[in-house]
Amino acid sequence: MKLAVFPSSIETSRALILRLVELMNEETDRIFNIAVSGGNTPALMFDLWANEYLDITPWNRMKIYWVDERCVPPEDSDSNYGMMRNLLLGIAPIPYENVFRIRGEAKPVKEAVRYSELVKQQLPYRLGWPEFDIVLLGAGDDGHTSSIFPGQENLLTSTSSYVVSIHPCNGQKRIAMTGYPILNARHVIFLITGKNKADVVEEICNSGDTGPAAYIAHHAQNVELFIDKGAASWYSSFLLSCSASHSRNLSRLMNLRLPMCITGTSALLNNAYDIERENPISCKSLADRISGVLFKSSLIL
Ligand code: 6PG
């Protein structure tokens, strides 16, 4: 699991766009099957993408699917497809036939079956499951991802690629990608920003299988977390406490299953810090490096 922390949600979103373009530029002879999540977090990324990165993106080599969708029509303000269409897909030169929306207006059970079959037809298969190149995930502050909510962990091992789930608070039906196709993806990338997500980031970093997002993060093959300093606030405050008494905490730090950073060629990634698990550095140095980067940058902002 790799963690990239940035001073702001804008820089986090920009870095993620550059990372996605980088991945597609590493294999210029193929189409990328990309599944995106919805919710509020990716809206900023889609908007930045439409305004700043249209011309560096290989739109003709992308097929867009959804990780999950609310069971509402595309015009509904809750629609994940509608949000991405309005902010990005209606502007980007992506071939219409390469966008495979989940029909939120359809009967949920029938749509879950239809979309599972569509994905089966469109994607290569590996280990008996469709293999997405990239699955972009968010995480709710309750620890959910896709639309797999706490208490619905059985969906992590569903035998269908997409099922109907129900939001535990408002009862809204959702069509959700289940655990196996997510885990089967070549790259699983979380975009998580905001102080309200600090606890779920800590859960992802520290726990094993306590919630759907943590479970996916610990069981997928290639996982990257793109987070801002608000979502990393646990991280930096913990490490700053280290710098005060770093010897006592060093063993604690090294015993934590902290995801380590970072790869990426974009200049924006330089705003992140890189820590190599293979070369454990002193906790104080780690804290100084992290706090320096984080707070220096926030002073700039
Ligand atoms: C959805 C999303 C969902 C999202 C998390 C985070 O349909 O709501 O796909 O999985 O990633 O709920 O949502 P926010 O970005 O709104 O916090």
Q: Does residue 146 have its Cβ closer than 6 Å to ligand 1?
A: yes
User: Distance (Å, rounded) from C-alpha 174 to C-alpha 162?
Assistant: 10
Atom of ligand 1 nearest to the CA of 40: 16
Q: Does residue 39 have its Cβ closer than 6 Å to ligand 1?
A: yes
In this prediction, residue 235 carries a pLDDT of 66
In this prediction, residue 282 carries a pLDDT of 41
User: What residue owns the CA closest to ligand 1's atom 1?
Assistant: 39
Closest of 128, 186, 178 to residue 157, by C-alpha: 178
Is 50 exceeded by the pLDDT of residue 20?
yes
pLDDT > 90 fraction of the chain, expressed in percent and rounded? 75
Residue-wise pLDDT for 196-222, tens only, equals: 999 999 999 887 778 999 999 999 999
What pTM, to 2 d.p., does this model score?
A: 0.84
User: What residue owns the CA closest to ligand 1's atom 8?
Assistant: 39
CA of 212 to the centre of ligand 1 (A): 13
CA distances from 55 to 49, 58, 60, 96, 101 (A): 10, 8, 12, 18, 24
In this prediction, residue 142 carries a pLDDT of 96
User: What residue owns the CA closest to ligand 1's atom 12?
Assistant: 140
In this prediction, residue 239 carries a pLDDT of 57
Mean pLDDT within 98-102: 98
Mean pLDDT within 22-27: 98
User: What residue owns the CA closest to ligand 1's atom 11?
Assistant: 138
Q: Does residue 259 have its Cβ closer than 6 Å to ligand 1?
A: no
In this prediction, residue 259 carries a pLDDT of 40
Q: Does residue 68 have its Cβ closer than 6 Å to ligand 1?
A: yes
CA of 145 to the centre of ligand 1 (A): 7
In this prediction, residue 236 carries a pLDDT of 61
CA of 41 to the centre of ligand 1 (A): 7
Is 90 exceeded by the pLDDT of residue 258?
no
Q: Does residue 193 have its Cβ closer than 6 Å to ligand 1?
A: no
